[in-house]
Structure 1
Amino acid sequence: MEKILGLDLGSVTCGVAVSDFMGIIASAVKTIRFADGDYDDCLNQVLAIAKEMSIKTIVLGLPKHMNGDVGIRGEISMDFKERLEDNGMNVVLWDERLTTVSAERTLIHADVSRKKRKKVIDQLAAVTILQDYLNSKN
């Protein structure tokens, strides 16, 4: 098997996670930071990570409203998916509803300070997205 990258794309950050070779466990990699709406910068950083880790498949969180509708954030993710595919990546969109809320609760339960939570919340959301995808495959 190959490693898979998981992404939680925001407006100024992108959480990045990676699977193990067996496709069982997702782990945090980093939080990419970029200027508000500068998805070109984010794309370049994601592609550099993918190249460094020999990644061919990316699971990208798709934000949806609770009623299932895709809003502006979801459209941005779908556009980002196309741009990743234009650069040779195989991309799977994954429903990310409540992943950030779940990540926040996990960090609070672990008694992580507010300042530290802000630094890792996107990574943990990316881990949750990727782990949910991996669990669905196994």
Structure 2
Amino acid sequence: MNRLEDIAKTKGKLLGVDFGDTRTGLAVCDPSRLLASGIGYISPGGIEKCVDAVADVAREQEVSAIVVGLPVNMDGSEGSRAARCRKFARLLEEKTGMVVGMFDERMTTMTASRYLNETNTRGKKRKTVIDTLSAQIILQNCLDRLKYLND
């Protein structure tokens, strides 16, 4: 797996991924890497099918690298979800041949939930939006960090 510095060396669009067992949220940024936008979610079932589906999206979106959210505990430790995300990222890198990096997703779901509460998004609509919004937040946070690295 690559570090953020490896992603910084690439040029062009990035794909942000919030990998989950049920749904995987997706976001993409503009070629200048200023703004992340959610593009939806996939529910392929199983890690291998998810890798294939995300690889297809990466090709369709013509991205140069992929950022996968890493679920880290508040104390900085990693649990079983983090291990599963690392496996997903490794398989995705092998499948696509692209730079795939991990980015700390702490507080992402909480931030997404707070936003959805403020916009009064409830029920089924909330379920379909939260993973996409989480991917968008992960990617935007990564873009902000990349700007800092490049300055």
TM score, norm. by length of structure 1: 0.95
Distance 1:76 1:56 in 2: 23
Is the counterpart of residue 127 in structure 1 residue 136 in structure 2?
yes
1:21 corresponds to which letter in structure 2? P
The residue aligned with 2:37 is 27
Q: In angstroms, what is the RMSD of aligned CA positions? A: 1.0
Distance 1:34 1:64 in 2: 24
* Aligned partner of residue 12 in structure 1, secondary structure: coil
Is the counterpart of residue 83 in structure 1 residue 109 in structure 2?
no
Q: Specify which structure has the higher proportion of strand.
A: 1
Is the counterpart of residue 9 in structure 1 residue 25 in structure 2?
no
Question: What are the within-5 Å matches in structure 2 for residues 51-66 of structure 1?
Answer: 51-66=59-74
Question: What are the superposed Cα offsets for residues 38-80 of structure 1, whole Å, 9 maximum, x if unpaired?
Answer: 0111111100001111122011000011111110000011111
Unaligned runs of 5+ in 1: none
The residue aligned with 2:52 is 44
2:132 corresponds to which letter in structure 1? Q
1:43 corresponds to which letter in structure 2? V
* Aligned partner of residue 34 in structure 2, secondary structure: coil
Distance 1:112 1:68 in 2: 31
TM score, norm. by length of structure 2: 0.87
Distance 2:50 2:15 in 1: 14
Mapped contact 2:40–2:132 kept (Cα < 8 A): yes
Question: Percent identity of the aligned residues?
Answer: 38
Match of 1:112 among 105, 121, 126: 121
The residue aligned with 1:73 is 81
Moved over 3 A (4+): none
Distance 2:103 2:119 in 1: 26
Unaligned runs of 5+ in 2: 1-10
1:10 corresponds to which letter in structure 2? G
1:2 corresponds to which letter in structure 2? G
Question: What are the superposed Cα offsets for residues 81-126 of structure 1, whole Å, 9 maximum, x if unpaired?
Answer: 1111112020110000110111011011011123211111000000
Distance 1:89 1:13 in 2: 22
Q: How many residues align?
A: 136
* Aligned partner of residue 64 in structure 1, secondary structure: coil
